[in-house]
């Protein structure tokens, strides 16, 4: 069956894939947050890419696939933008407020009055809750004695990139609309070409043929690769044989050659994600009845882990995983039930789309 045959319905494993990726990031973060910024979990030493790095690619790819589907379905930029805003900002604003006036006020080494009078906390509040000009990572006197001192909520740094991808996608659609005929066809061609060109550049950067792009290039490729898979869904067959062949290729690269792994990874990751999203069925689909907790895990995990590192000096990485996963999952469930789900109801009078969207997660960047 073609990919298009599966995308006609909404019964899939995207929620499960996202929460698995979110928990993988929590595990990945446990090493630097417990042991220091130079600590890397075992996968990073094996293939040169951390669990957090894999997770960010999964989130950008699934986001590109799903939001492109959403835009092509409604073909309305205002509705598209409103849906994105309702999915991103309510939970984000809540966690930023809690970080500043809850976590920050509790853990700061400054007197409470000095902390609340410091302009830095309001700059943090403004930038991190809007994402317009990036995010701030530090609050005065907060977590300054932790093994990882670089951020209160290091995961947020990828979110401005996600917003940029939405803006680029909307701009391409808006420009394509100016073409009298075949506007949808032009839109699709531009997205597929964007993915192809950025993929070639990504490989050239990996082999040091060129030196450009940085994180933006990788995120761009993953996002628009996902968009291209949706556009080409009528031509893509989901095959057991192809999935296992691609999985074997990744395994061989992981065990024997990091360059082979990277090339294979860049080319086949998207196919493997979509296979897992649509082919496994049955009991596994019951997870969808619980809710979409991955975004809550994303926005809460890092400050929770930093708080544990401050409260339990010398905490081990396994203990960090255990304690932080318990607290973070509880907060994620509450976020879904009382913030995210209620926010999504606000679009029901205008929109009928209840698509969930993915958010990138990645290892925190070190100053070293």
What local confidence, expressed as pLDDT, does residue 359 receive?
Answer: 46
Q: Residue 311 corresponds to which tokens in the numbers above?
A: 């409260």
Phi, psi of 2 (to 5 degrees): -80, 155
Q: Residue 273 corresponds to which tokens in the numbers above?
A: 């994600």
20 close to 277: Cβ distance less than 8 angstroms: no
Q: How many CB atoms lie within 10 A of CB 234?
A: 10
Question: What secondary structure letter does DSSP report for 239?
Answer: -
Question: What secondary structure letter does DSSP report for 237?
Answer: B
Q: How do residues 4-45 score in pLDDT, each as one tens digit?
A: 999 988 899 999 999 999 999 999 999 999 999 888 787 777
What local confidence, expressed as pLDDT, does residue 40 receive?
Answer: 76
Q: What residue has token string 């991103």?
A: 88
Task: Give which of 330, 238, 299, 283 is closest to 5, Cα–Cα.
Answer: 238
Q: Residue 284 corresponds to which tokens in the numbers above?
A: 């596994």
What local confidence, expressed as pLDDT, does residue 213 receive?
Answer: 78
Q: How do residues 330-344 score in pLDDT, each as one tens digit?
A: 999 999 999 999 999
DSSP per position, 38-73: T---HHHHHHS--HHHHHHHHHHHHHHHHHHHHHHH
320 close to 302: Cβ distance less than 8 angstroms: no
Interatomic CA distance for residues 172 and 223, integer angstroms = 14
36 close to 337: Cβ distance less than 8 angstroms: no
Q: How do residues 245-285 score in pLDDT, each as one tens digit?
A: 999 999 999 888 989 999 999 999 999 999 999 999 999 99
What local confidence, expressed as pLDDT, does residue 181 receive?
Answer: 83
What local confidence, expressed as pLDDT, does residue 43 receive?
Answer: 75
Q: Residue 59 corresponds to which tokens in the numbers above?
A: 């989130």
Q: What residue has token string 């531009």?
A: 190
Task: Specify which residues 288 forms β-bridges with.
Answer: none
Least confident of 74-78, 124-128, 220-224, 239-243: 74-78
Q: How do residues 148-188 score in pLDDT, each as one tens digit?
A: 987 999 999 999 999 999 999 999 999 999 987 889 999 99
> Helix, strand, coil shares of the chain as percentages rounded to 5?
75, 0, 25
What local confidence, expressed as pLDDT, does residue 228 receive?
Answer: 98
Q: How do residues 204-229 score in pLDDT, each as one tens digit?
A: 999 999 888 789 999 999 999 999 99
């Amino acid at each position: 069956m073609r990919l298009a045959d599966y995308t006609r319905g909404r019964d899939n494993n995207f929620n499960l894939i996202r929460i698995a990726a979110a928990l993988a990031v929590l595990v990945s973060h446990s090493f630097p947050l417990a042991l220091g910024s130079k600590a890397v979990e075992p996968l990073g030493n094996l293939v040169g890419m951390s669990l957090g790095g894999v997770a960010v690619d999964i989130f950008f790819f699934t986001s590109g696939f799903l939001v492109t589907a959403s835009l092509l379905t409604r073909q309305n930029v205002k509705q598209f933008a409103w849906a994105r805003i309702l999915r991103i900002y309510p939970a984000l604003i809540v966690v930023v407020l809690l970080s500043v006036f809850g976590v920050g006020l509790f853990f700061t080494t400054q007197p409470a009055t000095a902390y609340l009078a410091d302009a830095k906390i309001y700059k943090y509040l403004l930038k991190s809750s809007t994402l317009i000009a990036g995010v701030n990572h530090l609050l005065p006197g907060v977590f300054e004695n932790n093994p990882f001192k670089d951020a209160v909520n290091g995961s947020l740094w990828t979110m401005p990139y996600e917003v940029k991808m939405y803006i680029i996608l909307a701009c391409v659609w808006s420009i394509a609309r100016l073409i009298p005929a075949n506007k949808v066809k032009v839109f699709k061609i531009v997205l597929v070409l964007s993915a192809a060109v950025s993929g070639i550049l990504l490989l050239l950067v990996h082999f040091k043929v060129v030196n450009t792009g940085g994180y933006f290039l990788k995120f761009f490729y993953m996002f628009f690769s996902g968009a291209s898979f949706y556009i080409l869904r009528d031509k893509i067959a989901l095959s057991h044989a192809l999935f296992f062949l691609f999985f074997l290729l990744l395994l061989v690269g992981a065990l024997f050659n990091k360059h082979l792994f990277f090339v294979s990874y860049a080319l086949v990751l998207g196919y493997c994600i979509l296979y897992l999203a649509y082919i496994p069925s049955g009991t596994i689909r019951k997870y969808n009845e619980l809710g979409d907790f991955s975004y809550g895990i994303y926005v809460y995990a890092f400050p929770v882990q930093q708080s544990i590192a401050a409260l339990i000096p010398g905490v081990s990485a396994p203990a960090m995983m255990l304690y932080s996963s318990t607290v973070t999952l509880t907060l994620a469930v509450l976020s879904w039930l009382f913030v995210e789900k209620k926010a999504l109801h606000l679009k029901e009078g205008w929109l009928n789309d209840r698509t969930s969207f993915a958010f990138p997660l990645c290892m925190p960047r070190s100053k070293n």
